[in-house]
Amino acid sequence: MTKKVFRLGLTGSIGMGKSTTARFFSELGCPVWDADAAVHRIYAKGGAAVAPISAALPDAIEDGAVSRDRLKELIAQDTSVLSTIEKIVHPLVAQDRAEFINETDSEILVFDIPLLFETGGDAAMDAVICVSVSPELQRSRVLERGTMSESQFEHIWSKQMPNEEKRALSDYVVETDTLDHARSQVEKIVKTIRGQLDHA
């Protein structure tokens, strides 16, 4: 008999507080699979993507690992490179996710996927949470990190699905305006889902 697992998608645009929200779920006993971390794992030395990307795009390898900077340069030179990378990376990320599901013994699993709606990943979830804050707070948070310029932020922001659309498509919205407010909403969601599972 396969175990019943509730798959909870966690998404939200840059600077919305997704990592913090994911940590709250983890603290409440809901293991989190992080899509970005999975890509880092398969790109790292000895990772599953190194050999196939090395065969397809030898210039993308640096010190035995896949270099994201090199990939960006190659994509900038030739946009068709992106589909080559996706054909290699997407199945490996899916495999990483499947291993997480099989190895994790918990009734609620959280999948932290920034582009969940954009990639159609929401179809595989039982429910989706969108983390959200005002555009002003989002902008100030990102720029306060000091890791990107205003123009870089604008570029990323323009490529992501608008926050209003993500909110409308989601089953739950977590406002991350303050840590206490965000934590209380996460606790409520976990309680609701555990209640549903108990009565299923």
Cα distance between residue 15 and residue 138, in whole Å: 5
Q: In what order do the strands lie in the sheet with 127-132?
A: 32-34, 108-112, 6-11, 127-132, 172-175
pLDDT confidence tier of residue 14, bands split at 50, 70 and 90 = confident
Top CATH class, 1-31+106-200: alpha beta
pLDDT digits (tens, 9 = 90+) for 50-71: 999 999 999 999 999 999 999 9
pLDDT for residue 172: 97
Q: Evaluate if residue 1 carries a pLDDT over 50.
A: no
Q: Structural domain boundaries of the chain?
A: 1-31+106-200, 36-103
Q: Is 28:187 a contact under the CB 8 Å cutoff?
A: yes
- Specify the pairing of strand 65-66 against strand 127-132: unpaired
Give how far the C-alpha of residue 144 lies from the chain's centroid of Cα atoms, to the nearest Å: 21
Cα distance between residue 73 and residue 71, in whole Å: 5
